[in-house]
Amino acid sequence: MLDLIYSNGDIFTFKVDDWAVLRKQHRIIGEIVGNASHIPALPVKLLPEEAVLLLENDLISVYEVVNFPDASTYKQQFEEFERGLLQAEVAEYKEIRRKQLESIIDKIVEKKGKDRSPEEVLNEELAKSSVVTTNNMIWPILMQPLNLSEAEKKLIPLEDVFKLTTKLKCAVYRDLWEKGYYVTQGDKFGGDFLVYFGDPVCHHAVFIVRCVQAEETVTPTEVVAFGRLGTSVRKRAVLASLVEEKVAYVTINWIDA
């Protein structure tokens, strides 16, 4: 069973191995929300519907961190790590750049002036072309997992996680997941979910699914707008509802006359 972390109304995994298990074995995609100097990094945030499904299948436990150490402690650790990483990169890149310059030093000396020694020119070019700062350094994609003691975490029950979403969305997500689809957040395309035939790394979404209550009135204008949206992004627009406790779908096909 995997341990996930609850924080400020969202559920995360900070462990790359757990993320690999969720994605490869359970088709749980989540969203990478970390950032290390403009490079996507852990943690991964799960949809509430993903978390509910995993909890109902006894695949995860969700904990909230309590008695967390002061943030200044982690800031100091981060700054020390960044300084060490920068120093290592400066040394490594300088050595790589030195070898590159040594292979063409004769041409550089000829261009710069033969009255200067190769070593002098080499050092000058090396100083100009091997500058690494915190703004252009390369960050590794890594994250230390949270290893929490029992005194530092509190178990979050399924009922509390269920409050983050709705019965309808959970039912629709589970139905799509059980049919073998990959499902992600659909906000950016005006829906609740995007649905894929395979992993989103390799496949485009084929459906935009919007969840609507069975008794909810959807106006013709809203239907037209949603249908045209689906057509414009080359996806099928789908309305999903619960009818007699079963998920029912209506696909909107837009045909130009």
Catalytic-role residue among 6, 93, 196, 249: 196
Distance CA 203, CA 195 (A): 10
In whole angstroms, give the CA distance from residue 48 to residue 172: 13
Amino acid found at 203: H
Active site residue 173: no
Contact yes or no for 150/62 (Cβ under 8 A): no
State the helix-helix crossing angle for 105-112 and 118-129, rounded to 10 degrees: 100
Under 8 Å between Cβ of 67 and 151:
yes
* 200 contacts 188 by C-beta, under 8 angstroms: no
Catalytic residue list contains 112:
no
Backbone CA torsion sign across 125, 128, 131, 136 = negative
* C-alpha–C-alpha distance, residues 105 and 95, integer Å: 15
Q: Is 190 left (phi over 0), alpha (psi -120 to 50) or beta?
A: left
Among the listed residues 15, 45, 169, 235, the single catalytic one is 235
The phi and psi torsions of 48 (rounded to 5 degrees) equal -55, -35
Catalytic residue among 24, 204, 246, 249: 204
74 included as an active-site residue: no
Positions annotated as catalytic residues are 196, 204, 235
